[in-house]
């Protein structure tokens, strides 16, 4: 039956109204899609408490607000499914807008190409409006307000799209996490970390940041994924003092090793007594020489104990709050796993901390006497063999430092000496914040003094077990 002019006008008016509503609904779904990933459970719980304690609002309005908040809580219980439902309706609204405009053009008797062109042009206009309005950004800036304002619409979208829940469950499996087991806002933290990494990557590609700054930003975001065990000095590389050692022994050890804080132990490393500070030893002995013979246990401080599974960002904040620069790391069985300093956590952000002395690690061996050489600790054994025209058959070490460590049976400190293959190796200098041996003097050793040198080393080094690869600067 042919349509009259009045009927055509009414139908066109209805279709135009429906198209406008679909545009508004599409923008609302886009805003909700951007907001659902940023609403926290804690913020909603706090809002419920505020509404319940608001004496200026009537009971009826309070119940309406609380009911709306409960709707939002149910929606964010499965963020991925809710976001999927919003995306589905947003896309469907844009498609239906083009279809409706095509129908309107057909009612006016336009040719087929004109109908298709009208639908395409209107779809482009809606896309341009979406870009200008940026509903997702608006939802991300005020997530709670947007979700509360569109709670009924989003609830309807979720109710009629049960298939979106399947996609959300699949996403959760891909992430290896069960959303029902997540603690409050854990999932949101993960989403924000992923968004932060993506934003930094975009900034780096756009050359908006210096590469070093960008790398530090990336490191900050990965702190929560790095565990203390990954940055600690293992127990085998720790210098320790026995509790019956004297303050004089501690001063000598700190002077030679360059460390200002040393763990104090009893029968073994797991029998931790505390941590001795160099400044406490200096304060006790500076004006009282007789105190040099006091036991080091008299000045120990209570150690800060941290589990090896603690994330580095939490460790850093804990050390800041307690004003501790060194912490003892314990394993799951309560034993001592290692030691960590606040500088170790900072290095995870800014990179390796070195000073002007570290350049000695890259210098060439220097001849300082007749068949006497001073060489960096990293000098290859092959260079040592060439200089002294000998064959050192050591397959498990590659550097002069590694050779000295193997002969000693412990990590060397300044002054440590040992004899092997007719050569005397002596650690003479340390460099950098880690106070690791940097220079070693190598010279021929007489056979009649080799045993004496080894015995002297054992007596001189009895106060320490080994040297850590990392420790903090002297105060």
Residue 473 has pLDDT above 50, yes or no: no
What burial letters (b/e) apply to 55-84, b meaning 16+ CB within 10 Å?
eeeeeeebeebeebbebbbebbebbbbbbb
Q: Which residues contact 241 (CB under 8 A, 6 or more apart)?
A: 249, 250, 253, 262, 263, 264, 265, 276, 296, 463, 464
Residue 172 has pLDDT above 80, yes or no: no
Are 283 and 374 found together in one domain? no
Q: Starting from the edge strand earliest in sequence, which strands make up the sheet with 326-330, in order? A: 233-234, 336-341, 326-330, 305-307
Residue 457 has pLDDT above 80, yes or no: no
CATH, residue 340:
3.10.580.10
Can you name the residues that pair with 251 across neighbouring β-strands? none
Other beta carbons less than 10 A from residue 137's beta carbon: 11
In the prediction, which pLDDT does 330 show?
Answer: 92
Residue 3 has pLDDT above 60, yes or no: no
Are 176 and 52 found together in one domain? yes
- Whether residue 66 lies inside any domain: the answer is yes
In the prediction, which pLDDT does 179 show?
Answer: 44
Task: Write down which residue in 334, 350, 366 finishes a domain.
Answer: 350
Are 118 and 147 found together in one domain? yes
Task: Write down which residue in 182, 213, 242 finishes a domain.
Answer: 182
In the prediction, which pLDDT does 451 show?
Answer: 41
In the prediction, which pLDDT does 152 show?
Answer: 85
- Whether residue 302 lies inside any domain: the answer is yes
Are 139 and 34 in contact by the 8 Å Cβ rule? The answer is yes
The average pLDDT across 3-28 equals 82
Residues spanned by the domain of 142? 5-182
Angle CA(34)–CA(83)–CA(123) in degrees, nearest 5?
75
Are 397 and 249 found together in one domain? no
Are 12 and 56 found together in one domain? yes
Determine what percent of the chain is predicted with pLDDT higher than 70.
Answer: 79
In the prediction, which pLDDT does 65 show?
Answer: 86
Per the document, the length of the chain is 475
Which comes out higher in pLDDT, residue 409 or 324? 324
- Among 184-193, 262-271, 345-354, 429-438, the range of highest mean pLDDT: 262-271
Confidence of residue 364 (pLDDT cuts 50, 70, 90): confident
- Whether residue 60 lies inside any domain: the answer is yes
Q: What is the CA radius of gyration of the chain?
A: 35
How far is it, in rounded angstroms, from Cα 109 to Cα 119? 15
pTM: 0.47
Are 283 and 430 found together in one domain? no
- Among 264-273, 398-407, 460-469, the range of highest mean pLDDT: 264-273
- Whether residue 393 lies inside any domain: the answer is yes
The average pLDDT across 330-348 equals 87
- Among 160-169, 244-253, 397-406, the range of highest mean pLDDT: 244-253
pLDDT digits (tens, 9 = 90+) for 262-320: 999 888 888 899 999 999 999 999 898 888 999 998 899 998 999 988 888 888 888 88
Are 19 and 156 found together in one domain? yes
Confidence of residue 427 (pLDDT cuts 50, 70, 90): confident
Are 331 and 435 found together in one domain? no
Region label for 424, one of left (φ > 0), alpha (ψ between -120 and 50) or beta (otherwise) = beta
Are 125 and 234 found together in one domain? no
Residue 465 has pLDDT above 70, yes or no: no
- Whether residue 470 lies inside any domain: the answer is no
DSSP string, 294-350: SBGGGG-BPPPEEETTSBHHHHHHHHHHHT-SEEEEE-TTS-EEEEEEHHHHHHHHH
How far is it, in rounded angstroms, from Cα 365 to Cα 377? 10
Task: Write down which residue in 182, 216, 238 finishes a domain.
Answer: 182
In the prediction, which pLDDT does 181 show?
Answer: 47
The average pLDDT across 322-326 equals 89
Are 334 and 365 found together in one domain? no
- Whether residue 187 lies inside any domain: the answer is no
Are 35 and 148 found together in one domain? yes
| 227 SS3 class | strand
| 192 SS3 class | helix
CATH, residue 420:
3.30.465.10
Are 159 and 67 found together in one domain? yes
Confidence of residue 205 (pLDDT cuts 50, 70, 90): low
Are 107 and 12 in contact by the 8 Å Cβ rule? The answer is yes
In the prediction, which pLDDT does 375 show?
Answer: 87
How far is it, in rounded angstroms, from Cα 265 to Cα 244? 9
Q: What is the DSSP letter of 420?
A: E
- Whether residue 312 lies inside any domain: the answer is yes
In the prediction, which pLDDT does 460 show?
Answer: 45
Confidence of residue 183 (pLDDT cuts 50, 70, 90): very low
- Whether residue 208 lies inside any domain: the answer is no
What burial letters (b/e) apply to 149-179, b meaning 16+ CB within 10 Å?
bbbeebbebbeebeebbebbeebbeeeeeeb
Q: Number of folded domains in the chain?
A: 3
- In 134-263, where does DSSP find H-type helix? 135-141, 143-149, 151-159, 163-174, 186-205, 211-222, 247-257
């Amino acid at each position: 039956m042919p349509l009259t002019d009045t009927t055509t006008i009414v139908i066109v008016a209805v279709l135009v109204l429906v198209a406008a509503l679909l545009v508004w609904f599409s923008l609302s779904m886009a805003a909700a899609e951007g907001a659902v990933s940023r609403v926290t459970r804690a913020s909603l719980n706090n809002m419920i408490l505020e509404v319940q304690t608001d004496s200026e609002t009537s009971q009826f309005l309070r119940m309406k607000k609380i009911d709306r908040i409960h709707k939002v809580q149910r929606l964010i219980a499965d963020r991925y499914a809710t976001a999927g439902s919003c995306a589905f309706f947003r896309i469907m609204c844009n498609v239906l807008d083009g279809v409706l405009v095509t129908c309107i053009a057909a009612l006016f008797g336009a040719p087929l190409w004109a109908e298709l062109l009208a639908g395409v042009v209107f779809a482009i206009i809606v896309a341009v409006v979406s870009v200008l309005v940026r509903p997702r950004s608006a939802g991300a800036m005020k997530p709670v307000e947007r979700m509360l304002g569109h709670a009924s619409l989003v609830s309807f979208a979720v109710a009629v799209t049960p298939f979106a829940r399947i996609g959300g469950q699949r996403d959760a499996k891909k992430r290896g996490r069960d959303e029902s087991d997540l603690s409050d806002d854990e999932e949101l933290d993960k989403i924000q970390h992923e968004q932060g990494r993506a934003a930094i990557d975009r900034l780096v590609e756009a050359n908006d940041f210096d590469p070093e700054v960008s790398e530090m930003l990336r490191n900050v975001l990965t702190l929560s994924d790095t565990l203390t065990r990954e940055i600690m000095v293992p127990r085998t590389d720790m210098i320790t003092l026995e509790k019956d050692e004297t303050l004089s022994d501690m001063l000598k050890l700190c002077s030679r090793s360059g460390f200002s804080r040393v763990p104090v132990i009893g029968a073994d490393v797991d029998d931790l007594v505390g941590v001795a500070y160099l400044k406490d030893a200096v304060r006790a002995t500076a004006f009282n020489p007789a105190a040099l013979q006091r036991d080091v246990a008299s000045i120990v401080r209570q150690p800060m104990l941290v589990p090896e599974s603690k994330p580095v960002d939490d460790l850093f904040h804990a050390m800041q709050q307690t004003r501790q620069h060194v912490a003892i790391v314990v394993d799951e069985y309560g034993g001592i796993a290692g030691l960590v300093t606040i500088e170790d956590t900072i290095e995870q952000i800014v990179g390796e901390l070195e000073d002007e002395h570290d350049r000695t690690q890259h210098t060439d061996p220097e001849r300082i006497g007749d068949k006497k050489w001073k060489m960096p600790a990293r000098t290859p054994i092959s260079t040592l063999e060439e200089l002294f025209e000998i064959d050192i058959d050591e397959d498990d070490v590659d550097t002069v430092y590694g050779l000295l460590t193997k002969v000693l049976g412990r990590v060397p400190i300044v002054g440590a000496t040992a004899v092997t293959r007719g050569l005397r190796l002596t650690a003479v200098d340390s460099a950098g914040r880690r106070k690791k041996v940097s220079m070693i003097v190598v010279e021929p050793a007489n056979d009649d003094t080799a045993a004496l040198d080894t015995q002297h080393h054992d007596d001189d080094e009895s106060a320490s077990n080994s040297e850590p690869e990392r420790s903090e600067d002297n105060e």
